[in-house]
């Protein structure tokens, strides 16, 4: 009796996860380019930016729902944090830009949350490449 050997014992969850994450980062890059291409003096800049941010937040939420293989230690927690920070950032950006009067303090808080979300997304990308960000993991003797 012949037993097919293709795929025998191979865990495809790592490859599947990497494919999903590559697509995620490609779309994220597209949004980054779109946001950077906005004319800040245009009447459509704020609505377009908020729309892009809504889309990014939804993408991060979906990414956070992916089943992370154990091979990528810590990514599940980083994804959760990125989702929380991005959700808060978008909410605060809406408050800052849609208020009767622009609020610098709210915009600063939004930017801080946005930067924290992006930092975690960079950490995840590093881990997926096989690098361990020293900023988040400490080693003991």
Per-domain boundaries in the chain: 14-128
pLDDT over 70 (residue 24) = yes
The answer to whether residues 123 and 110 touch, using CB atoms and an 8 Å cutoff, is no
Calculate mean pLDDT across residues 3-11: 51
Confidence label for 4 from pLDDT (cuts 50, 70 and 90): very low
Calculate mean pLDDT across residues 38-51: 95
Confidence label for 122 from pLDDT (cuts 50, 70 and 90): very high
pLDDT over 80 (residue 1) = no
Look at domain 14-128 and name its CATH class.
mainly alpha
């Amino acid at each position: 009796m012949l037993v097919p050997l293709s795929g025998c014992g191979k865990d495809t969850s790592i490859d599947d996860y990497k494919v999903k994450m590559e697509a995620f980062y490609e779309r994220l890059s597209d949004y980054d380019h779109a946001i950077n291409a906005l004319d800040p003096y245009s009447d459509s800049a704020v609505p377009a930016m908020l729309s892009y941010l809504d889309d990014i937040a939804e993408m991060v939420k979906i990414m956070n729902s992916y089943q992370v293989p154990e091979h990528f230690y810590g990514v599940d927690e980083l994804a959760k944090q990125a989702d929380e920070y991005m959700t808060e950032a978008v909410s605060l950006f809406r408050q800052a830009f849609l208020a009767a009067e622009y609020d610098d303090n709210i915009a600063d808080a939004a930017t801080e949350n946005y930067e924290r979300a992006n930092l975690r997304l960079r950490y995840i990308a590093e881990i997926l490449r096989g690098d361990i960000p020293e900023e988040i993991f400490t080693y003991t003797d």
